[in-house]
Amino acid sequence: MAGIYIHIPFCKKACHYCDFHFSTSLKNKEALVTALCKEIELRKDYMGSKNISTIYFGGGTPSLLSKEELDKILNTISTHFTVAPDAEVTLEANPDDLTEEKIAGLKQAGINRLSIGIQSFVDEHLTLMNRSHNAKQAIDAVRNAQKAGIKNISIDLIYGLPNLPIDKWRDNIKQAFELDVPHISAYCLTVEKKTALNHMVQKKQITLPNDAETAEQFYMLIEESAKHGFTHYEISNFGKEGMYSRHNSSYWKNEPYLGIGPSAHSYNGSSRQWNISNNALYIKGIEASETIFEIENLTEADKFNEYVMTGLRTIWGINLDYVKTSFGEDILQELLQDSKPYIDSGHMQQNRENVTLTQKGKLIADKIASDLFI
């Protein structure tokens, strides 16, 4: 099975921490939707005859699309691909967009999963991040979706924020659990270059918590989510049984996917490619049926390293038999040798089938993965 990712590069305003590709001007939205549909047609053979099991609208802010625009995109996908009857169709949404009327339109268009970018239930933090909603709108958005019958709801939270003492973080996640959503994605605040947040940090206008404080918040979320029936199935993701993100899980399991839209990435097992990160040039290139992407053919080392990087982040870990079958006995033995110091230190654990991170190891997942690379 395979997935399709649609990048919607528009936002009402720029969040201070975000370095994704987007525009706050909507003047080219109609032309871009037309270009998305044409790119879907142009790339219809990218994944061969594989059925589509997941469709994901990311961004940007996909909830800025109208029902008619969503209909147009989804109908184009159905025309050129075989979409599974039970396909997971996710749309990322800002809380202030999710009125009862809006949610009804999303359901009618075929959206059956919402990923709501709440980030925090504290107005002070939402103002700091330059979010377009407040805490009340966040709560109302979830309740409106539940009232409309959408059961598959994920919410995003951010920890490691300035002025976030542990008791306030506890209240934040308590509110999430009280809303009874089946999935939570939680990310540590990261300072990216060329963002307003980076400027504020450099100018010492804000002070970020130290590593020990963010680790305490991360461990609290792990502990409390387990008490509420969540499985910590990927470093940043917590889901109840049967409610894991099928689309994102396919990324971590090396399933192929097609990325549509400016800056979108695609993977077919042997190469990766990524579209130009410029709305106007993307639209112009698609209209002329020109190549608007760069491509990288993956070496065996690339494939192994990517498998380690993604697999290690999940509860499924690195499958030893898969490594042996796909990369050979020598690579397997090298992996086991490189893993041993981390197993001895309690950062990793091994059974007959897999090597996985321990809770302690999750804090340094990227370093461990890089040390296992070939």
Same domain? For 238 and 305 the reply is no
Separation of alpha carbons 161 and 163, rounded Å: 6
Is the pLDDT score of 3 beyond 90?
A: yes
Is the pLDDT score of 356 beyond 80?
A: yes
Q: Is residue 287 part of a domain?
A: no
Is the pLDDT score of 136 beyond 90?
A: yes
CATH number of the domain bearing residue 99 = 3.20.20.70
pLDDT band at 178, cuts 50/70/90? Answer: very high
- The amino acid at 243: M
Number of domains in the chain: 2
Separation of alpha carbons 213 and 327, rounded Å: 40
Q: Is residue 284 part of a domain?
A: no
Separation of alpha carbons 123 and 235, rounded Å: 26
Separation of alpha carbons 240 and 201, rounded Å: 36
Half-sphere exposure of 236 (CA within 13 A, CB side): 17
Q: Which residues contact 136 (CB under 8 A, 6 or more apart)?
A: none
Same domain? For 222 and 335 the reply is no
Within 236-297, strands assigned E span 237-239, 257-260, 265-267, 271-275, 293-297
Q: Is residue 74 part of a domain?
A: yes
Q: Is residue 275 part of a domain?
A: no
Give the DSSP per-residue string, 342-355: HHHTTSEEE-SSEE
CATH number of the domain bearing residue 304 = 1.10.10.920
Please report which residue ranges of 203-319 form alpha helices under DSSP H: 211-227, 246-252, 279-287, 300-311
Same domain? For 213 and 85 the reply is yes
Residue 313 domain boundaries: 300-372
pLDDT value of position 321: 97
User: What percentage of the chain has pLDDT greater than the value 90?
Assistant: 87
Q: Which residues contact 289 (CB under 8 A, 6 or more apart)?
A: 42
* Lowest mean pLDDT segment, chosen from 76-80, 89-93, 129-133, 201-205: 201-205
